[in-house]
A and B are shown apart, each in its own frame.
Chain A
Amino acid sequence: MGSYLVRRAIWTIVTIWAILTVTYFIAYLVPSDPARLIAGQHASAATLASIRRALGLYHPLWYRYLVYANQFIHGNLGYDFIMRRTVSGMVLQAAPYTFYLAVVAVAFELLIGIPIGIIAAVKRYSFVDNFLRFLSILGISMPTYWVGSMLLLLVGFKLGWLPLGGVSAPGVILPALSVGITGSAFYARILRSSTLETMRLDYVRTARAKGAGEALILFRHTIRNSLIPVVTYLGLDLGALLGGLIVTETIFNWSGLGFLLNTALGQDDGALIMGVTLFSASAIVIMNFVVDIIYAFLDPRVSYS
């Protein structure tokens, strides 16, 4: 067990280091000059030189990479001279918004996806099933940015029921719903097929034989076991959503990590691109590590050697 922990921990660190290295060099391979971005178009050559010196831009790339890596080990993502703020400050400010949106979005996905999946399975091969399956294909095929823009235009603008973008408690509904509508289709399809499988199993037949009611059979025996693949997918899905919903957050002006990343990309802000990417990636890697450990404790079938 101990060696398993150590091995997993080492791999986690190696993964984070690889992410750091790859993003650093990609961010700096893009032709971009921080001094020019800071000083603006009107700056004189002398001002540019002064800024380059202050930022250490005259040092070779490998040296700057080591400086950055050293900062990162100490939990410092650096200072963003374009936004004039610390990168960690901005990332930590944005992360709760993304977390909030991700949780509500997943709730919508489940709220929409689970009933559809169950109904489709119970009424399999009927008109209702076909109709719901058609809806779920539609849901998967519709791009989030289109659904988002339509919701914004209809509910936010024409009807005026919910805020037109921005961060607020009611403001989460539309972005979460647009993720929910498109994302729920996956859940519906997974749940439908796993429910169909479970319904054929022996213990369901036994329950029916002992005279349990159909509702109890469905909720107690069938669905609980059919939910296992849903829960597995949920973990993956939540992880992806926590990385930031670039498109959704941008459309709704939801100032989470995705929105921040979009801003950073738009202004060639290397420090911020690095910071958001590293934060999201590290969060996912570390979460995976924690999940693996918990799994190892809970499931005796996981091998430690």
Chain B
Amino acid sequence: MANSFWKRWSMAAAGVATLGLTASMAVPAVSNASGGNTLNFSFSSNIETLDPTEWTDMTSMYPMQEIYDTLVEYDNVNSKIVPGVATWKVSKDGTVYTFYLKKGIKFSNGAPLTAADVIYSINRVTRGDANSSGAAPYGFAYSDIKGYSQWNNGGKAPPAGMKGMAGVTSPAPNVVQFKLITPQAFFLNVMALMSAAIVDPTVVAKYGANYQLHAVGTGPYKLASWNQGHQMVLVPNKTSWRYTKGEPTVVMDENVSPDLALLRYEQGQYAFDFGPLPSEVYAKVLSSAQLKSQYHNVVENGVVYLAFNTTKPPFNNVYVRQAVNYAIDKQLLIKNITNGRAQLMTQPLPPGIPGYNKAIKNPFPYDPKLAKALLKKGGYKGQQLNFIYPSNNTDHIRTAEMIQQNLRAIGMKVNLSGTSQIGNYWPLEDNASGNWNIAWTDWFQDYPDAQDFLFNLLAKEAFGATNVGDWTNPAFQSLVSQADSLPASENYQRNNDYSKAETIAVKQAAWAYLYTEWNDALIQPWVKPQGTYKDLMLYLHPVKTPQFQYMTVAPH
């Protein structure tokens, strides 16, 4: 009897153990492979997509840049446009771009790259029904190509019988020609975006909606595995024209919190901790001599600013806008919020963008007295103002609170209203009826051209979308329109126009100018550049994501 009693207890224990074991077998393993010639690192979010028609974000660009090629790309010296899979010629008037594909380029599945693939890829991303959620987020970047509006069909399926944009043709084998409706100096820049990545039509046709899990390109890497939301592994694509001997395997973990990522980095599991590093991580870097020696940074081509709702009082008045600019202690903001990892913003363009006007130096120094006087002059009557900001991050909350204090000091009544994140600023689309006055905003370049900032953020055409505050000014508008319509061969004149336009945007205080942030990263000393590339451009390029193919893992 005692026997059966103990037997029952042990059977219960065995039952629990079996249950646990079964449960553990149900769990798919995520490989923790590291060591050897492998670079491991993580993202704090998930990799959204490998499909050019869905691409919007920086994180997805890490793998996409390695898997795909574009016709042209940026060099590693000063981010100038250079040939990718094609060389090019531009017509004198700047409206016809002819690309000559390099010979012998193959996709990772062995299929040769043809002109038809290039044409297919650009027609695919510009369709009104590019993916299951409608138009591709970046499809509009190609709207100056002849036939775009007919093909895109107002964001709906193309008209029956239409095969593609009339302006994209192949006049000879391995030649692709783009005809534009107007000169577009930054056309090569938009052709270097990930939305213009060249896909293999047969692979798209084969996998349809699941294409991105089987993405194939001509780039230096190919997709080995992707357990979505967990981990993506890229292995060298040996059929690539740009395959470099000794390319490391790349293992990217998704959704790893910054704290955990730093611990894994410190333990040596991770080769990098890519930024922009959150301020709490940077604080830890500062307190460790070892981490400090592995810390690197560059000034980002981006801006952080406050947009004003200029469609109604008080910010339809220039003096009130200037008052806010003088009232904010930007240096203190830079010191407290970014730990000094930013520089003062003096104009709409960041310093890395051609057209940046060096003559403009700190136009609005911290001066609460002057701000008060301007506020009075502008006729601000003490009305309650609504300040929208993204409250998904403590740095943003602290920024909003510091600005609120600064504005309160000059007698402005500011009510903070946090919205979860900046992608969610939909109340700003209809400014006249929208209940907001000030909005925290940032912008990171799509390409290093002044048009990406001055047109997208301040032109009339971008009202209700990227021109958040609907600010406009006739002289500014005509300078920007003029510069936008010039071909790339007139870049000197273009940048002159943009510089002049900048002066207006500053005088008119189109925004409250805050700062330009740094991009930074921790890089293990055992990650070495290989070949001719020696500098930081491999890891922290102003336009590109890191180029893993030119890196190697030294014994450590």
Contact = CB atoms under 8 A, between A and B. Distances in A.
Interface of A: 30-33, 35-55, 79, 81-85, 90, 93, 96-97, 99-100, 103-104, 107, 152-153, 156-157, 160, 163-169, 172, 216, 219-220, 250-251, 253, 255, 259-260, 263, 266-268
Contacts of A82: 48
Nearest to A167: B30
A49 B45 CA distance: 26
Given A42-B56, A107-B16, 20 more contacts: A31-B426, A33-B424, A40-B57, A42-B138, A47-B155, A48-B429, A50-B128, A51-B135, A55-B134, A84-B54, A99-B23, A103-B20, A103-B23, A152-B260, A163-B32, A165-B256, A168-B30, A220-B5, A266-B392, A267-B45
Contacts of A41: 422-423, 425, 443, 466
Contact of A100 (B23, B256, B446): B23
A91 B132 CA distance: 21
Given A93-B229, A156-B263, A107 B20 contact: yes
B137 A43 contact: yes
Given A51-B133, A104-B23, A43 B465 contact: yes
Interface string B56-79: 110000000000000000000000
A287 B7 CA distance: 30
**Chief secondary structure at chain B's binding surface:** loop
A53 B155 contact: yes
Contacts of A54: 129, 132-134, 155
B56 A84 contact: no
B174 interface: no
Contacts of B464: 45
B102 interface: no
Nearest to B445: A42
Contact of A160 (B132, B267, B446): B267
Contacts of A47: 134-137, 139-140, 155
6 contacts: A40-B56, A42-B137, A96-B27, A152-B263, A157-B267, A255-B255
A99 B26 contact: yes
Interface residues of B, number: 69
A115 to B, nearest CB: 14
B419 interface: yes
B49 A84 contact: yes
Interface in B422-443: 422-427, 429, 443
Interface of B: 2, 5, 9, 16, 19-20, 23-24, 26-30, 32, 45-46, 48-49, 51, 54, 56-57, 128-129, 132-140, 154-156, 212, 228-230, 253, 255-257, 260, 263-264, 266-267, 269, 392, 419-427, 429, 443, 446, 456, 462-466
* Chain A binding surface, main DSSP class: helix
B491 to A, nearest CB: 23
B2 A216 contact: yes
A50 B23 contact: no
Contact of A259 (B140, B255, B465): B255
B137 A39 contact: yes
B263 A96 contact: no
A84 B32 contact: no
Contacts of B465: 43-45, 48
Q: Choose among A51, A96, A164 the residue with the greatest number of B CB atoms under 10 Å from its CB.
A: A164
A166 B27 CA distance: 12
Contact of B20 (A36, A55, A104, A167): A104
A93 B255 CA distance: 15
Given A164-B260, A253-B260, A31 B48 contact: no
A219 B129 CA distance: 69
Contacts of B32: 163, 166, 168
Nearest to A259: B255
Contacts of B266: 157
A164 B132 CA distance: 38
Contact of A40 (B134, B137, B229): B137
A50 B267 CA distance: 47
B470 to A, nearest CB: 12
Contacts of A253: 255-257, 260
A183 to B, nearest CB: 16
Nearest to B253: A166
Contacts of A157: 263, 266-267
Given A84-B48, A103-B23, A164-B260, A38 B133 contact: yes
Contacts of B30: 166-168
A255 B136 CA distance: 30
Nearest to B446: A42
Contacts of A44: 140, 462, 465-466
A30 B256 CA distance: 26
B320 to A, nearest CB: 26
A169 B424 contact: no
A88 to B, nearest CB: 14
A51 B426 CA distance: 14
A163 B154 CA distance: 51
Among all A-B residue pairs, the 8 with the closest Cβ atoms:
A50-B155, A54-B134, A40-B56, A33-B426, A50-B135, A50-B134, A100-B23, A96-B26
B472 to A, nearest CB: 15
A200 B391 CA distance: 58
B452 to A, nearest CB: 9
A93 B228 CA distance: 10
A37 B137 CA distance: 11
A222 B28 CA distance: 42
Contact of A37 (B129, B424, B446): B424
Contacts of B128: 50
Contacts of A36: 423-426
